[in-house]
Amino acid sequence: MNYYAGVDSGSWTTKAAVIDGEGHVLGTAVTRSGADLTAAAERAYEMVLANSGRTRADIEAVWSTGFGRNTIPFADGSRTELDCHGRGVAHYIKGPLVVVDIGGQDAKVIRLDAAGHRLSHRMNRKCAAGTGSFLDEIALRLGIDIGDLNALGRGATENLELSSFCTVFAGTELLTLIRSGKRPADLAMAAYRSLVKRIVAMDVLEGRIAPTGGVVAYHPIMVELIGAACRGEVVVPPHPQEIGAFGAALAALAACETQDIADTSDTAELVQP
Amino acid sequence: MSELTSTTALRATMDAYYRSLADAALRKTAPVAWCTSVGPAELLRALGFAVHFPENHAAIMGAARTANRYLPLAHAQGYSQDICSYLTSDIGAYLAGESPLEAYGLERAPAPDVLVFNTNQCRDVRDWFEWYGRELGVPVLGLHSPRAIDDVTESDIDAVTMQLEALVAPLEQVAGTRLDDARLRAAMRASRDTAGLWGACLETASARPAPLTFFDGSVHMGPAVVLRGSDDAPAYYRTLLAELEQRVENRVGAVPAETLRLYWDGMPVWGRLRALSTMFAEFRTAVVASTYCNSWAFSGLDPAEPWRSVARALLELFIARSEAPKERYIARMVEFYDVDGVIFHDCRTCSNNSNTRYGMPGRITERLGIPTLVLDGDVNDLRCFSDEQARTNIEGFVEQLTDARAATSARGSR
């Protein structure tokens, strides 16, 4: 049996996945990216090999994706995160669909056709509003751990609005609301709603919508809010945070299969590299 | 990527232009007029002015990546970060007492005797020139062209023709000479030839592989912008055209192993021109044509009818038109150059050159069935451009187009 790996080098976290030749996930791993993306990729790869009970010698090919995809020396190839998120989601969910990936420092909307081919993509402008960094800033202002923000938001009773577009100014606005006696639970929920407003403004979200990324994995409240704000069916794929790494592993598998055909076919010129 | 050998002639042509400008400013060999890039340059040349184009001046700062040094100085004067970064870098450089033309002995942009704008492209050019008018006590004249035009009508042409004719008397006064009809017709002939030859150069990119890209064009368009009305421009474009035709004949592409072809709408990102050119080449993708470079391939300039034909040419420009003719234009370009996709540069500080803000990319995709990509950036302010985000956007677009082609090919081979 051959095995394939993918490493998604994100700005905030590095994810890795190992799959078998049929696309089944054997293991995943997540680690902080920090300043040294190459070291984080090595760490994530070692972690995922341990989690999946494999060694480097078992892996036929490793492909990289994400912000740091070109900084991973052991990668055999790379695809953008636009490709890998789409590829990963399309493996589980039938198209046409709209993938909404909310990462630590950017957000993307990726449209796929019925066959899972990419039709278009949009990325957030050069600004942290509409990304996980916004929630980090809010948690910091509320003086809580980011991991507790979702549970806090669940206790909201008042429908508050954060009006600022800017992450930093939203933090200042939050302080004003705290001073005026507003409850932290209502402020946490206001932050989630603000984030969703930015996301739904990126593209028309309708039909089958698949949210992915770390924000979705750790803040399930976001899935509910996206569902409430859109006209469509919201379906979260398995392991939404590692879906890009999974997509990169699928790309590695596809490249090896194409290579096999190219090596054996009489009509190799018909196969696109 | 091999550089065009005509680049040597280009450098000599531009060098001679900047020297003559410096001579006019420093040794008073001619009166100096500043003109917007699609203003009445032929009239100014016919009156004997040395013509300086502040947009060209600002583009040099953008390409040299010095613009960001000057922008804060203009912002501090109350000129917003959201308005034209050509304007703010140019005024900032003036306030710093610097100029990219220092090599020609100019410590600042050449001191003007008159400033002449045309609002066919935007209002910012007027505000830009009026700042200098106040600062230097120099007359500011202009054409107040209509904008967002559907079809150019005779009454539009009448209005601009009358304004052009009204410029003559005050310009004659500054120049200290009368307008000579023969000189005006000669300037018109030179402009007509420049526009025709430049257009022919750009059209060679319809060949596969394309002998030049948008990035080459952004550099080689220099004479078409700053030497309108001068015989130096057609002389240069004859040289360039010959080289491009030779490339076509020999099937030499600007991008090695050209695989994909794209159209670029919007301004260049001057500070990343080479980086983007290299990146697209790495992806075996040729950006074969652009709205921007084509904007100086004016049509219909006629020496026998100088006033009305200039008025018509300046009104028919892409930037002066409404969404419907702009979309028709891009549709013609997509077909002529046979491109796989269209990139729209959303230039943060130039709404007039950003055709992304009223839904056009989506309409183009729907109408032509061609993928589009919106790239965030700016013409001069590099703080508005993210290298990493741009790379992911472009690489992702190339992946999308390549996969679509492979899928089509696979279907066809079944």
> In Å, how far is B33's CA from the nearest CA of chain A?
39
Looking at the DSSP bridge assignments, the partners of residue A8 are: A15, A65
List, as own/partner pairs, every contact residues B321-324 make where C-beta atoms lie below 8 angstroms and the sequence separation is at least 24, other chains included: B321/B148, B321/B149, B321/B150, B322/B148, B322/B149, B322/B150, B323/B355, B323/B358, B323/B360, B324/B150
Residues A6, A27: Cα–Cα separation, whole Å: 11
Q: Give the type of residue at A137.
A: E
- A119 lies within 8 A of chain B by CB: yes
Q: What is the pLDDT at residue B29?
A: 95
Q: What is the pLDDT at residue A261?
A: 61
Residue of A nearest to B409 (CA): A270
Do B122 and B85 touch, CB atoms closer than 8 A?
Answer: no
Same fold, A1-93+238-273 and A95-236: yes
Q: Give the type of residue at B378.
A: D
CA separation, residue B315 to residues A17, A102, A250, B171, B292 (Å): 58, 45, 53, 22, 16
Pick the residue of B343, B388, B392 with the most A CBs within 10 A to test the interface with A by mutation.
Answer: B392
Residues A4, A87: Cα–Cα separation, whole Å: 15
Distance of CA A195 to the CA centre of its chain: 15
> In Å, how far is B258's CA from the nearest CA of chain A?
14
- B407 lies within 8 A of chain A by CB: yes
Residues A172, B361: Cα–Cα separation, whole Å: 36
With CA atoms as reference, report the closest residue to B310 among B178, B149, B175, B185. B185
Residue of A nearest to B395 (CA): A80
CA separation, residue A259 to residues A87, A173, B175, B284 (Å): 19, 55, 72, 21
- A269 lies within 8 A of chain B by CB: no
Q: Do residue B376 and residue A67 have CB atoms under 8 angstroms apart?
A: no
- B8 lies within 8 A of chain A by CB: no
Instruction: Give B392's contacts in chain A (Cβ within 8 Å).
Output: 67, 80-82, 123
Do A211 and A88 touch, CB atoms closer than 8 A?
Answer: no
| Cβ count within 10 A of residue B96 | 14
Q: What is the DSSP string of B324-392?
A: HHHHHHHHHHHHHHT-SEEEEEEETT-GGG-TTTTSHHHHHHHHH---EEEEEE-SS-GGG--HHHHHH
Q: Do residue B396 and residue A106 have CB atoms under 8 angstroms apart?
A: no
| Cβ count within 10 A of residue B221 | 23
With CA atoms as reference, report the closest residue to B171 among B215, B140, B202. B140
**Sheet containing B341-347: order of strands:** B285-290, B260-265, B341-347, B372-377
- B239 lies within 8 A of chain A by CB: no
Q: Do residue B396 and residue A122 have CB atoms under 8 angstroms apart?
A: no
Total residues found in chain A within this entry: 273
Q: Pick from A82, A123, A270: which is nearest to B413 by CB?
A: A270
Domain boundaries, chain A: 1-93+238-273, 95-236
Beta B260-265 vs B285-290: how paired, if at all? parallel
What string of pLDDT tens digits covers the 414 residues of chain B?
A: 678 999 999 999 999 999 999 999 999 999 999 999 999 999 999 999 999 999 999 999 999 999 999 999 999 999 999 999 999 999 999 999 999 999 999 989 999 999 999 999 999 999 999 999 999 999 999 999 999 999 999 999 999 999 999 999 999 999 999 999 999 999 999 999 999 999 999 999 999 999 999 999 999 999 999 999 999 999 999 999 999 999 999 999 999 999 999 999 999 999 999 999 999 999 999 999 999 999 999 988 999 999 999 999 999 999 999 999 999 999 999 999 999 999 999 999 999 999 999 999 999 999 999 999 999 999 999 999 999 999 999 999 999 999 999 888 887 776
- pLDDT confidence band for A267 (50 / 70 / 90): very low
Pairs of residues, one from chain A and one from chain B, whose beta carbons lie less than 8 Å apart = 54
Instruction: Give A122's contacts in chain B (Cβ within 8 Å).
Output: 374
Instruction: Give A126's contacts in chain B (Cβ within 8 Å).
Output: 376, 384-386, 389
ipTM: 0.90
Instruction: Give A115's contacts in chain B (Cβ within 8 Å).
Output: 407
Q: Do residue A82 and residue B392 have CB atoms under 8 angstroms apart?
A: yes
Q: Is B197 helix (H, G, I), strand (E, B) or coil?
A: helix
Q: What is the pLDDT at residue A164?
A: 75
Q: Do residue A272 and residue B409 have CB atoms under 8 angstroms apart?
A: yes
Tell me the percentage of chain A whose pLDDT exceeds 70: 93
Q: Give the type of residue at B41.
A: A
**Phi-psi map region of B300: left, alpha, beta (phi>0 left; psi -120 to 50 alpha):** left
Residues 72-91 of A with CB under 8 A from B: 79-83
Q: Give the type of residue at B5.
A: T
With CA atoms as reference, report the closest residue to B316 among B300, B304, B331, B328. B300
Q: Do residue B376 and residue A126 have CB atoms under 8 angstroms apart?
A: yes
Q: What is the pLDDT at residue B270?
A: 98
Instruction: Give B389's contacts in chain A (Cβ within 8 Å).
Output: 106, 123, 126
Q: Give the type of residue at A182.
A: K
Q: For the domain A95-236, what is the CATH superfamily, name and number?
A: ATPase, nucleotide binding domain (3.30.420.40)
Residues A229, A222: Cα–Cα separation, whole Å: 10
> What is the average per-residue pLDDT within A190-219?
93
Q: Give the type of residue at B351.
A: S
What is the token pair recorded at A104?
């630590």
> In Å, how far is B283's CA from the nearest CA of chain A?
12
Q: Which helix (H) or strand (E) is B215 found in, with range?
A: helix B214-220
With CA atoms as reference, report the closest residue to B362 among B345, B389, B344, B383. B344
Residues B170, A135: Cα–Cα separation, whole Å: 61
- A268 lies within 8 A of chain B by CB: no
Residues A28, A16: Cα–Cα separation, whole Å: 5
Instruction: Give A123's contacts in chain B (Cβ within 8 Å).
Output: 389, 392-393
Pick the residue of B81, B403, B414 with the most A CBs within 10 A to test the interface with A by mutation.
Answer: B403
Residue of A nearest to B383 (CA): A126
Instruction: Give B405's contacts in chain A (Cβ within 8 Å).
Output: 272
- A254 lies within 8 A of chain B by CB: no
Residue A24 is given by DSSP the state -
Residues A53, B15: Cα–Cα separation, whole Å: 67
Unique residue bearing structure tokens 């269209």: B342
CA separation, residue A159 to residues A185, A189, B46, B127, B166 (Å): 10, 8, 68, 45, 62
With CA atoms as reference, report the closest residue to B272 among B68, B87, B100. B68
Q: Do residue B374 and residue A122 have CB atoms under 8 angstroms apart?
A: yes
Residues A182, A178: Cα–Cα separation, whole Å: 5
Residue of B nearest to A107 (CA): B389
Residues 356-385 of B with CB under 8 A from A: 365, 371-372, 374, 376, 384-385
Query: According to CATH, what is the number of the domain A1-93+238-273?
Result: 3.30.420.40
Write down the H helix ranges in chain A: 37-52, 81-92, 132-142, 149-154, 167-179, 184-200, 214-218, 220-229, 243-264
- B414 lies within 8 A of chain A by CB: no
Longest dimension (CA), chain B: 76
Do A64 and A255 touch, CB atoms closer than 8 A?
Answer: no
Q: What is the pLDDT at residue A126?
A: 64
pLDDT over 90 at A273, yes or no? no
What is the token pair recorded at B28?
């008073």
Instruction: Give B384's contacts in chain A (Cβ within 8 Å).
Output: 126
Q: What is the pLDDT at residue B116?
A: 98
Write down the H helix ranges in B176-213: 181-203
Instruction: Give A33's contacts in chain B (Cβ within 8 Å).
Output: none
User: What value does the CA radius of gyration of chain A take, rounded to a whole number of Å?
Assistant: 20
- A120 lies within 8 A of chain B by CB: yes
Q: What is the pLDDT at residue A253?
A: 97
- A272 lies within 8 A of chain B by CB: yes
- B250 lies within 8 A of chain A by CB: no
Residues B276, A52: Cα–Cα separation, whole Å: 40
